[in-house]
Structure 1
Amino acid sequence: MDIEVWVWWLIGAVALGIPLVVTAMPEFGMLALGAAAASVTAGVGAGIITQVLVFAAVSVALIGVVRPIAARHRAQRPQLASGIDALKGRQAVVVEQVDAGDGGRVKLGGEIWSARPLDKSQSFAVGQEVDVVDIDGATAVVM
């Protein structure tokens, strides 16, 4: 019982798919797709040289094109701000006058924070909305 060449290419594609699942290395998947393309080439009756060239061309093209795109997407994951970084740039409401002398208090993120103005000459009245520029220890720097 002879196994046809296209079946061998499919077996190769499956064999390359196993390390893809085990190691999560996408290159194995790209090689598996190259083997699947060679299987189709063998199925339509092309010679072994054409099959190997199709395998190599598809595999190299996928690695050369898809891999850099995947790496770029992996590097561009959105950064979620948390903790103090999440408070910077938000608005707060003054609950106790904020000035350079004694500072003051603002309501920021549902909590009362001590606050001081970014510019020492500024003063903010109760009820005024201010922007949080920075957090210095437990003090919100506002403007």
Structure 2
Amino acid sequence: MDWLTENLWSAWLAAAVVLGVAEMFSLDLILIMLAVGAVSGMVLALLGAPFALQAVVAAGASVGMLALVRPSMAKKLHDGPTLTQGHDKLLGQQGTVTQAISGLQVGRVSLGGDVWTAAPYDETLTIAEGETVEVLQIRGATAYVHPVPRLEP
């Protein structure tokens, strides 16, 4: 029994390692917070503190990590930038009309170095060549655009 009390730090270390490895499979950021508590228990065991104090500090550190650190970490992990691919990345972009567009006839628009078939979002509009437009919608291979207003001096 003396060996166990003298080497209780190794039990805390083993618990921290097991919790850390289990966290790699769960990715919930819960087990890693408990592992931090186990590490704090290990530090107190190395300093010679009684087991009751080690357990209380480990539990307190775990609860503190779960209450104070985990919410902000989880928010940072889940609130990253969204990746837009395909046609969705063109929505909101501006381009230049290379062939006149009207409600009766589709034209062409240069968007991000590519030329797209384009139609006016408002079918009553006619958009002249050289005008700057904004993409409001993509249907199939046609961009539905609206002219960007210009400030006239």
Partners of 1:115 and 1:15 in 2: CA distance: 58
* Secondary structure of 2:101 counterpart: strand
Query: For this pair of structures, how many residues does the alignment match?
Result: 143
* Secondary structure of 1:142 counterpart: strand
Partners of 2:91 and 2:21 in 1: CA distance: 47
Q: Equivalent residues in 2 for 1:77-96 (5 A)?
A: 77-96=80-99
Q: Corresponding residue for 1:109?
A: 112
Q: Aligned letter for 2:65?
A: L
Change (3 A) 1:24 1:91: closer
Q: Aligned letter for 1:39?
A: M
Partners of 2:92 and 2:84 in 1: CA distance: 11
Q: Corresponding residue for 1:2?
A: 3
User: Alignment identity in percent?
Assistant: 38
Q: Aligned letter for 1:129?
A: T
Q: Aligned letter for 1:63?
A: L
1:72-96 alpha-carbon deviations (Å, 9 max, x no partner): 2232121121111111111222121
Q: Equivalent residues in 2 for 1:28-39 (5 A)?
A: 28-39=31-42
| TM-score of the pair, normalised by structure 1 | 0.82
Matched-pair contact (CA < 8 Å) for 1:19–1:25: no
Matched-pair contact (CA < 8 Å) for 1:97–1:126: yes
Structure 2 runs not aligned, ≥5 long? 147-153
Q: Corresponding residue for 1:135?
A: 138
| TM-score of the pair, normalised by structure 2 | 0.77
1:48-84 alpha-carbon deviations (Å, 9 max, x no partner): 2111100111111112223322322232121121111
**2:53 paired with 1:70:** no
Structure 1 runs not aligned, ≥5 long? none
